[in-house]
Structure formats: structure tokens, C-alpha cells
């Protein structure tokens, strides 16, 4: 803070110096120490002006109470991204790197009112039908398979070879993907989030999901796709495709980051033991202090208004900083005497994450499996050498290298094939993904 006025001073190296006070939430400096940026942003009050990418302006809510107020006020703040004024006026390019996650799609995340209630109820009811015992078996199977791929080496990138891969397999099973469709779903989601050939990856994902919908119309099963299709909301095929793409995409990326960030906490903090309920404790602390989605929940004021100390115009882009709200000084103090699960990592209000319980269950099971099978796993590099992926929305490591005592992988240890996902041949020709079919490989391993 400047000693002669009340103008906040940006952190050293922050490009906000000379930028009119709008703080950029991208680049290596922000990725390396986002909490320094959040501390600076709090000088503006409960909300602050930020830049998500060059030329993409937004208001970021950093206060816990203000965030809760906004998330529950669906009258004043809307989710339909077709209200985004800067985008409609051509000030934000469709080619901007943040546009794919902010631009309108016909799914429950971008819906308001009765349409949101209809789509969201179908999603919530379908996700509620997931059997946690079956989910545990599936997570154990996938964990053992992935561990078997590196157990004999004695070294592994726990992010790239484990945390990043596991959600892809779990969601393919939950949504009833047969082998070839599952291969293309995995290819599509990976490409979209990795930014590698993203246009082709998006095309492959939506085509694969479309084929999955066609398949399940004629051959339903015990899976989220079939339950969503059978819901009384009577979703059309187009609505099915967009809800499934949302659930698969928004489920996989945050879950891989949650697993990776929780493993990072366990491997870099001596106060956690690798057994019993302390994995749950590490998970809760991660959700408070290092949530996998740090800044998101886009909203748009329905009319010109003042909110959290900022003047907003109708259609302005407003985001919630879950990371800043969770770690604000007032909330840190309240946390000591309150619930350890009152964080905002899952968001809140009518758009709260519908899969928070499955995500928590998968994370704990996957970490328990890893530590049970590789009990001496430890970080292979100094903690300060780890790097974080740049970007305004997520909190994600680039890698988490670890070492352990190599172990043999005896043959014939796969679980019984009766719990394996059903296999179907999808109708019509399908283009092959540009990588080895990971889902097919897993199914072969499972039944050998």
C-alpha cells in the first residue's frame, strides 16, 4: 500500500504495474504464488478488477461472505453467458484462450430459472444413483492397473502417470463407455485440457459422446448416461450430449488436480501420516488452501448495480475466487472454530458441484491404494523446484516426481471380470484416436 494514498501496490513482477490497476491472473508469476496476488487484491475490498487473459476483463470476488451472497442470489446474478457484454461487443475474441470455458453452451452450467432447474435436476438425480461400493471397486481396479504400469520402475510422475490418468478411466466406467468410445472420450478430454490439438480433441469428444447417446438409447445400462437419459426431464439427444460433455470435462480436470494437490500436501508436509483418517484431513486442508479450481463460477449482473464495493454494469463478467475466499483472514479465523468442510471449493448455491461426494470418495480411495502398495513413496525433487501450470481458473502442478522401492507386479492379480464395465460395439464407423487406446488396454488387463 502506498504510504501517501490508498492505492494498492501490486506484488513485485506483477504486470499490473502501469496497467491501470487491473491484475492479471495468468503467467508464471501468478502460477508460482497466487496467494501473493490474492493478498494484494484484498486491498480493493471484497472484489477487485482482474484480467483473465490479454484483453479479457472481469471482477473477482475474493471475500467469503460476498462470494456466498452472490452464489445464492440467482435474481441479481445470472449464469447465461449470452449476457456477456464484452464478448457480445467484440471486445473478447472467440480465439481467446479463456473463451472455451466461458462461452455459452446449452447445458445446466449456463442455464437460469426453470431451464436450469430441469437440466440440473436430471444431473443431480442421476449422479445420486452412483453406488459408492461400486465406485470404490472401480477406483481400486483403476488404481491397481495404473500402479502396475510403473511399480517395477521405482520412480513415477504421480501427476502424469497417476492423478491425471485415473479420473479419465473412472469417468469412462461411470458413464458406461464401451472400449472404442471410451478411447475417444479419453483422447478428447485430454486434448482439450492439455491444449494439444484442442479443436480436433473437441470434435472427437463430442462425436464420441454423440455415439454414446445413440448407443444408450437402444441399449441402456447401469450407468450415469442411461440414468440421465431415463430421467423424467426427458432430455433430447442434443441436451444429452451437452450435459455429458460438461460432466465429463468438468469432472475430470478438477478431480485430477484434487488428487495431485492432495498428494502434494501429503508428500511435502511431515505432519500428515500416511494412514487412517489423515488422508481425509489432508484432503480437507487442500480444498481450503489449494483448491483444484481456484477462480471460476462465472456470473453476469442482470442490471447495473453496486456489489462488494465495485460498480458493475449489466452483463459484466464476475468470477468467484474460491482460493482467495477460503484463505481470507476472517475466514481463516472462523475455520478454527467451525466446520472443516465449510469451504467454497465445491462452490455453493443452485450451481454447487453435483459430484462432490463421488470426487471425494475417488480421491481418498486412490491415495489409500497408492500408499498401501507403495508405502515408502516420497518426493524425488526439492519441493521448491515443483512448478504450477499457468492459467486463471485452475491450481495444478505440471509434474509430481516421486521415488519408491520397486515392487514386482505378479500376474493374475486383476479383480474379477464380473465387476468390469460392459462392452458394446457402438453403431456406425468411428475415427480412431491418435493415440493408443488406453481404455481398451485397461479392459484387457482387467480380464486377463
Of 90-104, 142-156, 204-218, 336-350, which gets the smallest average pLDDT?
336-350
Asked whether residue 415 carries a pLDDT value surpassing 50, the answer given is no
Q: Which residues does residue 306 pair with via DSSP β-bridges, in sequence order?
A: 311
- Cβ–Cβ under 8 Å, residues 301 and 312: yes
Q: Which residues does residue 48 pair with via DSSP β-bridges, in sequence order?
A: 60
Task: Flag whether 89 is in a domain.
Answer: yes
The mean per-residue pLDDT over the stretch 130-149 comes to 94
Q: How confident is the model at residue 446, as a pLDDT? A: 57
Return the CATH number at 398.
1.10.630.10
Q: How many domains does the chain have?
A: 1
In which residue are the cell numbers 461400486 written? 134
Asked whether residue 241 carries a pLDDT value surpassing 60, the answer given is yes
pLDDT tens digit string along 378-404? 999 999 999 998 889 989 999 999 999
Q: How confident is the model at residue 419, as a pLDDT? A: 32
Cα 237 from Cα 244, distance rounded (Å): 10
**Closest by alpha carbon to 242, among 79, 103, 110, 106?**
106
The mean per-residue pLDDT over the stretch 64-80 comes to 96
Task: Flag whether 16 is in a domain.
Answer: no
User: Which band of pLDDT confidence, cut at 50, 70 and 90, is reported for residue 62?
Assistant: very high
Mean of all residue pLDDT scores within the chain? 85
239-259 burial by CB neighbour count: b if 16+ within 10 A, else e?
Answer: bbbbbbbbbbbbbbbbbbbbb
User: Which band of pLDDT confidence, cut at 50, 70 and 90, is reported for residue 331?
Assistant: confident
Q: Which domain holds residue 333?
A: 23-446
- Cβ–Cβ under 8 Å, residues 386 and 399: yes
Task: Flag whether 27 is in a domain.
Answer: yes
Task: Flag whether 50 is in a domain.
Answer: yes
pLDDT tens digit string along 166-196? 988 898 889 998 878 877 887 887 766 655 5
Q: How confident is the model at residue 259, as a pLDDT? A: 97
Q: How confident is the model at residue 16, as a pLDDT? A: 53
Cα 250 from Cα 358, distance rounded (Å): 13
Asked whether residue 416 carries a pLDDT value surpassing 60, the answer given is no
Task: Flag whether 142 is in a domain.
Answer: yes
Task: Flag whether 395 is in a domain.
Answer: yes
**Closest by alpha carbon to 295, among 45, 33, 52?**
52
Cα 108 from Cα 401, distance rounded (Å): 37
The mean per-residue pLDDT over the stretch 125-130 comes to 94
User: Which band of pLDDT confidence, cut at 50, 70 and 90, is reported for residue 434?
Assistant: very low
Task: Flag whether 440 is in a domain.
Answer: yes
Q: Which strands make up the sheet holding 23-24, listed edge to edge?
A: 23-24, 47-53, 56-61, 318-321, 295-301, 77-78
HEC string for the chain? CCCCCCCCCCCCCCCCCCCCCCEECCCHHHHHCHHHHHHHHHHHCCEEEEEEECCEEEEEECCHHHHHHHHHCCCCEECCHHHCHHHHCCCCCCCCCCHHHHCCCCCHHHCCHHHHHHHHHHHHHHHHCCCHHHHHHHHHHHHHHHHHHHCCCCEEECHHHHHCCHHHHHHHHHCCCCHHHHHHHHHHHHHHHHCCCHHHHHHHHHHHHHHHHHHHHHCCCCCHHHHHHHCCCCCCHHHHHHHHHHHHHHHHHHHHHHHHHHHHHHHHCCCCCCCCCHHHHHHHHHHHHCCCECEEEEEEECCCEEECCEEECCCCCEEEEHHHHHCCHHHHHHHHHCCCCCCCCCCCHHHCCCCHHHHHHHHHHHHHHHHHHCCCCEECCCHHHCCECCCCCECCECCCEEECCCCCCCCCCCCCHHHCCCCCCCCCCCCCCCCCCHHHHHHHHHCC
Task: Flag whether 11 is in a domain.
Answer: no
Amino acid at each position: 500500500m502506498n504510504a501517501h494514498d490508498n492505492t494498492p501496490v501490486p506484488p513485485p513482477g506483477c504486470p499490473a504495474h502501469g496497467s491501470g490497476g487491473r491484475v492479471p491472473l495468468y503467467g508464471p508469476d501468478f502460477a508460482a504464488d497466487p496467494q501473493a496476488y490474492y493478498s494484494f487484491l484484498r486491498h480493493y475490498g471484497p472484489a477487485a478488477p482482474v484480467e483473465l487473459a490479454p484483453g479479457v476483463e472481469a471482477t473477482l470476488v475474493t471475500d467469503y461472505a460476498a462470494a456466498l451472497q452472490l452464489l445464492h442470489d440467482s435474481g441479481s446474478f445470472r449464469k447465461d453467458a449470452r449476457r456477456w457484454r464484452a464478448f457480445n461487443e467484440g471486445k473478447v475474441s472467440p480465439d481467446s484462450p479463456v473463451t472455451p470455458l466461458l462461452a455459452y453452451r446449452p447445458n445446466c452450467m449456463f442455464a437460469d430459472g426453470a431451464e436450469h432447474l430441469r437440466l440440473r435436476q436430471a444431473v443431480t438425480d442421476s449422479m445420486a444413483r452412483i453406488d459408492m461400493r461400486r465406485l470404490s471397486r472401480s477406483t481400486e481396479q483403476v488404481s491397481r492397473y495404473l500402479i502396475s504400469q510403473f511399480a517395477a520402475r521405482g520412480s513415477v510422475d504421480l501427476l502424469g502417470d497417476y492423478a491425471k490418468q485415473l479420473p479419465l478411466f473412472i469417468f469412462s466406467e461411470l458413464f458406461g463407455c464401451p472400449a472404442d468410445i471410451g478411447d475417444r472420450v479419453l483422447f478428447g478430454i485430454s486434448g482439450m485440457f492439455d491444449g494439444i490439438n484442442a479443436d480436433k480433441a473437441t470434435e472427437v469428444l463430442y462425436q464420441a459422446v454423440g455415439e454414446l447417446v445413440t448407443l444408450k438409447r437402444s441399449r441402456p445400462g447401469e450407468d450415469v448416461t442411461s440414468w440421465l437419459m431415463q430421467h423424467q426431464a426427458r432430455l433430447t439427444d442434443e441436451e444429452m450430449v451437452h450435459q455429458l460433455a460438461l460432466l465429463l470435462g468438468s469432472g475430470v480436470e478438477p478431480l485430477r488436480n484434487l488428487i495431485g494437490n492432495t498428494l502434494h500436501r501429503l508428500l511435502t508436509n511431515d505432519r500428515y501420516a500416511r494412514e487412517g483418517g489423515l488422508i481425509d484431513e489432508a484432503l480437507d486442508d487442500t480444498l481450503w488452501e489449494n483448491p483444484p479450481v481456484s477462480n471460476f463460477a462465472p456470473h453476469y449482473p442482470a442490471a447495473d448495480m453496486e456489489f462488494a464495493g465495485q460498480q458493475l454494469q449489466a452483463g459484466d463478467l464476475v468470477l468467484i475466487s474460491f482460493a482467495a475466499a477460503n484463505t481470507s483472514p476472517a475466514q481463516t479465523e472462523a475455520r478454527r472454530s467451525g466446520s472443516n468442510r465449510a469451504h467454497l471449493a465445491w462452490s455453493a448455491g443452485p450451481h454447487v458441484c453435483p459430484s462432490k461426494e463421488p470426487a471425494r470418495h475417488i480421491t481418498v480411495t486412490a491415495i489409500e491404494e497408492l500408499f498401501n502398495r507403495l508405502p515408502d513413496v516420497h518426493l524425488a525433487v526439492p519441493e521448491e523446484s515443483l512448478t504450477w501450470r499457468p492459467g486463471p481458473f485452475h491450481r495444478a502442478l505440471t509434474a509430481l516426481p516421486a521415488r519408491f522401492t520397486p515392487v514386482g507386479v505378479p500376474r493374475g492379480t486383476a479383480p474379477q471380470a464380473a465387476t468390469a464395465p460392459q462392452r458394446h460395439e457402438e453403431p456406425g464407423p468411428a475415427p480412431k484416436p491418435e493415440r493408443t487406446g488406453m481404455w481398451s488396454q485397461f479392459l484387457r488387463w482387467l480380464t486377463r
